[in-house]
Amino acid sequence: MAKLMDLPTKNELGYFEMRLESVGGLGANLAGQILAEALVMGHGFNGAHFSSYGSEKKGSPVKSFVRACRADREVRSSSPVERPHILVVFHECLLKLDGIASGILPDGKVVVNSYHEMDDVRNMLYLPSGTLGVVDALNIALEEKTRINTAILGAVVRVSGWMRPDVVRETIAEAFQSKHSSQVDANLRTFDRGFNEVRVQTYEDDGKFKPITTVSSEPLLGYRNAPIGGIIINPGNTGSKDLSASRQGLYPLYHRDRCIDCGLCTMTCPDYVFQWEKGMDKRGRPAMVLRGPNYQYCKGCMKCVEICPVDALTLECERPEFKYTADVQLWGPPDALGTMSRENEPAKWDPEEGHYWHRVG
């Protein structure tokens, strides 16, 4: 009988576990699926993958879980991963939210999509110790005209120290071959770049952040201590909510000089982002005038950009080195931004020129 492979790291129940923290549209579900498939089909473990969604829309929170064990036992748990051996954060803005980094083990591994310095990312995570991998997946995805998830997969494989990149490459190729065969090569390049470009550093516990001393096999929230459903346990949370993690790299830039204070954006915005103040209209009469969006509450749906009749709101990229020209496909499929352009006409898909998006006009 062939010798069964064992996992280099596992918990007291015999599971190796990963948690992928993301928002809808970034491809975390597919990434989790690919990782689980690679662990089962390529590495010879038993495994499971499942995701937890809010509503089915871009920008809503997504958690994707991967669990693996030796092939001679079954994965009988489908509970959320609370103590991940590898935590993956698809958008650094998520680090501002409570609970994203919960359960990191003292010797755990964390992969974050960010262009910031290692120490800055460690500070954002409050990471006492462990191995941190930071990959600028957005930059890679923009340059390769793909999505960030395959770059992150490359980083995860490298940070794991034991997952086989050839196996994960093969699984990526199979996943894309069936639905988007033209994207196979670009996604493999993206994976390779994620693998090669991730910055990795191991931090000893230097006392900078409170160490996690207890590792419990008990769930942090169970039927005895979970909050009661349907009640607001944090009054006034509308004021402190931060939707910036839901934006996918784009935001509506406000141009006061073009605005005619028609109010259409305010009526269209689903999150009451626009703020008004007392001022003067164009004829010098007292009137309410638009001060602009409060970006803390903006989730980047771009409905306001579509509705504005005078281009006083334009779609821009949050990373200053990228412009909304063409190299901005970001994470969506070709039709994701299909109705957005400076001229309020459909944006054009032009693979011939090697660009994804053009302003029209």
Q: What's the closest the beta carbon of residue 286 comes to ligand SF4, in angstroms?
A: 17
- Packing angle of the helix pair 165-179, 28-37 (nearest 10 deg): 120
Nearer to ligand SF4, 196 or 294 (CB): 294
Nearer to ligand SF4, 71 or 262 (CB): 262
Q: What CA–CA distance (Å, rounded) separates 215 from 353? A: 54
For tokens 């080195």, the residue is 321
At a CB cut-off of 8 Å and minimum separation 6, what does 118 contact?
A: 132, 134, 199, 201
Q: What's the closest the beta carbon of residue 256 comes to ligand SF4, in angstroms?
A: 9
Nearer to ligand SF4, 303 or 319 (CB): 303
Q: What's the closest the beta carbon of residue 248 comes to ligand SF4, in angstroms?
A: 11
The dihedral through the CA atoms of 24, 27, 33, 36 has a sign that is negative
Nearer to ligand SF4, 47 or 252 (CB): 252
CB-CB contact of 103 with 289 (8 Å) = no
CB-CB contact of 135 with 198 (8 Å) = yes
Nearer to ligand SF4, 174 or 271 (CB): 271
Q: What CA–CA distance (Å, rounded) separates 209 from 194? A: 28
CB-CB contact of 196 with 154 (8 Å) = yes
Q: What's the closest the beta carbon of residue 284 comes to ligand SF4, in angstroms?
A: 18
Nearer to ligand SF4, 271 or 316 (CB): 271
Angle at 180 between CA 176 and CA 185, to 5 degrees: 65
Q: What's the closest the beta carbon of residue 125 comes to ligand SF4, in angstroms?
A: 27
Q: What's the closest the beta carbon of residue 293 comes to ligand SF4, in angstroms?
A: 5
The binding site for ligand SF4 (CB under 6 A) comprises: 252, 259-265, 268-269, 271, 273, 290, 293, 298-304, 307-308, 310, 312-313
